[in-house]
Each structure stands twice: as C-alpha cells, then as structure tokens.
Amino acid sequence: MTVLDLTLRMGAPRATPYQRLAVVGGGAWGSALAAVAARAGRDVVVWARRAELAAEIDAEKRNRRYFGDDVALPAAVRATADLAEATAGAEAALLVVPSVAVREAARALAAVLPAGAPVVLCAKGIERDTGLLMSDVVIAESPGRAVGVLSGPTFADEVVRDLPTAVTIASNCAAEDGEASVAARMALSLGTERFRPYLSDDMTGAEVGGTVKNVIAIACGMAEGAGFGSNARAALITRGLDEIKTLADALGGRRETVTGLSGVGDLMLTASSTQSRNFSYGVQMGQGVPVEKLFGGRKVVVEGVENALSVTDLARRRGVRMPICEAVRTVVHEGVPFERAFEKLWTAPIESEPRALDLELAHPAGERVA
C-alpha cells in the first residue's frame, strides 16, 4: 500500500492546498462545501444560477431555501451569478450541480476556468444517453483537464453546521504523482478539525458507489414505507452493496473501494434516514402517496429517480444483474406496485452468497407470484 506523506518534510511542502476555489452550484451541497472551504482558510466564490440566490449568499451569508434562516455561512464566502467572475483566478473548481446538469455546466466551465485548474466532481450519477460517469462527462467537455471526485456519507445540513464528517476524494494519483495529485491537494484544501478527507486513486469505484446507493436508498425507503421492517432494510442494504460492487468491478473500479466511505458509508447514511431525499421519496412511495403529492407537492430533486434509469441501462449494456435497482425502476418508471415488485424480488431464484459456490435454486414460492 502506498502511503502519501502530505506533511512538511525537511521544511519543504510535500503537497500544497489550492488557495482559490470556485464552487459551481449554489444548492445545499455547494453552499455546505463553500462553508468547509472557508473554514479551512480558502478564498472561495460560489456560482449560483439564480441571481437572487447569489445575492443572498453574498450579502447575507444565508441560503434560506435549503437551510432556513438560522444557518449562517462563514463571512469569507462570496457568491455571484457570473460564472466568469466566480472562476477568475481559481486554482480548482468544485462542480456541485445535479447530475443531469453536469454536461451543460462542464461545457460552460471549460470556457472560463483557468488552464491547469482541475475540476472535482461532487455530483453523483451516470449520464443516461451515453452511460458515462460524471467524471467522463467533464473529460469529454474539457479534454486534458485533470479531474477528481469527492464522495461519501454527507448530509449537507450537517456539513454546513460543522458537524464531524469524513469523505473520499479520488483522482488518478499514480499518473499525477500521488503527493501532488488532485486528490491530495484538495484534501489539504478542505481538511479541518471537523471535515476529514480520505484519499483514493479509484474514481470509478467512488462514483459508482455514490450513484447506485441513491437507487438502493429508494428501495429501502419503499420497504420502510410499506411497513416491511428492519430485517428487509438490512437485507436490501447488504445485497444492494453487492450490486454496487459488481457494477464497479465491471466498469474497471475496485470492489475494495465500495467498502469505504464512498460506498458502504454513503449507502448506510442514505438508506436509513428521512434526511435523505432518496430514502424519503421511497418511504412516501411505499406508503402509496401519489407522485404529484410527494414532498407535499414541492418540486424536489431526487437523484435516485434518474439514477434508476441510467444505472439499469448501463448494467444491461454491460450484462450486469442488478435486481434491486431493476425493481426500483419498475416501480418508479413503469408503475408496478411496490408490493408486487418486492414479492418478485424476494421470490427470485435462490442464489449463493459466495460467488465461488455458483449455485442457484428455484424459490419454492416463485410460482405463486410469477
């Protein structure tokens, strides 16, 4: 195992933080990461698409839509609705927009971000039409630019309040010279007494973990809403983790990565709390709430809804079985009642957990729910 010494050795810095950061996205997670960067002593500017939100963050240090009136951002956080202004002089950018908006944002960012400044992805998803991970989308829009990924078990509301949090930051450490890699430098840029980064050289594994867990969280929420109990949720989390590992492996990632913060850590958080929009969405679906009345009729971005399509599309192309994700897809996008989808999932042929056993049996109840 390679150990990166990011401390001072013989008086010379082994790696240096990025001092000037642009945060592209003024939502909850973008604002929270801007707060982290400011607490770490960085010069940070947030780009928000809506001018009124940018003005509120810049002048009042508030993002009331997501955090109400009682959460103040650090005084050092600045904001603008002008992307060129937000990125002027930036040494790195954190891209924090919904996954469906990443390509458009990456294209706009490529035109204004200084040459040599890397982009660190903080969005979790797979582009449906192309099957590309978000990092690949950025690379396609900005060839030659270094890219990293930030992922892990993070509720923005807790991060913005400076509660203890750990994340994974991944980049191609070997190709970049690990001690000066994007991951290492961004870890130093954001690390504080309450925000602890870990390093990885497996962007694929980190991205797959952060994406698929959204779909598994919806499944867990549905089971909770339907009153299926804790046993079902534990089983869905465990078998869902296996689906994440299998897809990561098929895409060239490492199963080991999925057992870390960006996989099992993120899954445990997202699949067990109504603070998670994915889990909450699933709970309401499991309770039979009509789609138009979810979240009280408010428009809420639930990444797992889009991910249910993009993940299963990609898995089908790669020949990867993901039965839990497929079940979520049938409920969310095909109108199959959750109880029916769950019965088919639970009575599917009995498989072995050790892959080496390679044994499958017809489920005794399978014919009754076919």
Identify any residues that bridge with 45 across adjacent strands, giving them in sequence order: 22, 78
Three-state DSSP at 113 gives coil
- The vertex-287 CA angle with 351 and 238, nearest 5°, equals 30
Give the pair of three-digit tokens for residue 162. Answer: 């400076």
Tokens matching residue 21: 């950061």
299 an active-site residue?
no
Structure tokens at 118: 């890397």
Beta strands (DSSP E) in the chain are 8-9, 12-13, 20-24, 43-47, 78-80, 92-95, 119-121, 147-151, 165-171, 195-200, 350-351, 360-361
d(CA 370, CA 367) in angstroms, rounded, equals 5
Q: Residues near 347 by Cβ (< 8 Å), separated by ≥ 6? A: 363, 365, 366, 368, 369
| Beta-ladder partners of 47 | 24, 80
Choice among 61, 124, 213, 245 that is catalytic? 213
Residues belonging to the active site: 213
